[in-house]
Amino acid sequence: MDIVMQLLQKLSAPWKRIVGIRIEKVIDAVKAFVDEVLEEIVGSHGSGWTTSTILSTCVDPFFDKKEQLLSDKLEELLRPYKEGYALPLDTDFQETLGRTVAKRTTPQTGNLAISGQQANVTTISSAAHWHVADVIFEAMQTFYDSALRTFTDNVIYLAIES
């Protein structure tokens, strides 16, 4: 499973940048909304300094804190993938991997006999190497799909909470 974790670390590296961009866009959109609401409530006729004072003393510090909180939470969510201890222990992962490997290996194991005779050692060895490579590939693909689904769910929950 070590190779699977190394691959997951490499594949999950862009997640921080992707989610970071989304966080910035959401914060910018909410800030723009708050700006418009304040302008509507306070008005912009001769009271532009009031709106800008409220924004600079109350709204901007609030959003700065929220952005830092979300950034810290994102780091927390990414830590298992960066540090390599995000092994999936759930039964969904195990069942999906088992089904996928079983589908791939069933046709291969049927081909081990050559013309009704016992397969030679080279053929069995070659088939075993391909089987191991298939299992690693399927484990990685299943693991990545599971990790991405879990990470995405966690980011959604983070957005709802914050």
DSSP string, the chain: -HHHHHHHHHHHTTHHHHHHHHHHHHHHHHHHHHHHHHHHHH-SSS-HHHHHHHIIIIIHHHHHHHHHHHHHHHHHHHHHHHHT-----SHHHHHHHHHHHHHHHHHHHHT-SBTTBPPPHHHHHHHHHHHHHHHHHHHHHHHHHHHHHHHHHHHHHHHHH-
Average pLDDT over residues 131-157: 79
Q: Between the CA of residue 50 and those of 34, 36, 56, 122, what are the distances in Å?
A: 14, 13, 10, 83
Sorting pLDDT into bands at 50, 70 and 90, what band is 29? very high
Residues 142 and 134: their CA atoms lie apart, in Å, by 12
- DSSP-assigned beta bridge partners for residue 117: 114
Residue 112 has pLDDT above 60, yes or no: no
Q: Do residues 5 and 141 lie in contact, with contact meaning Cβ atoms separated by under 8 Å?
A: no
pTM: 0.61
* DSSP SS3 for 114: strand
Residues 95 and 100: their CA atoms lie apart, in Å, by 9
- DSSP-assigned beta bridge partners for residue 114: 117
pLDDT digits (tens, 9 = 90+) for 56-76: 899 999 999 999 999 998 998
pLDDT digits (tens, 9 = 90+) for 12-28: 889 899 999 999 999 99
Residue 88 has pLDDT above 90, yes or no: no
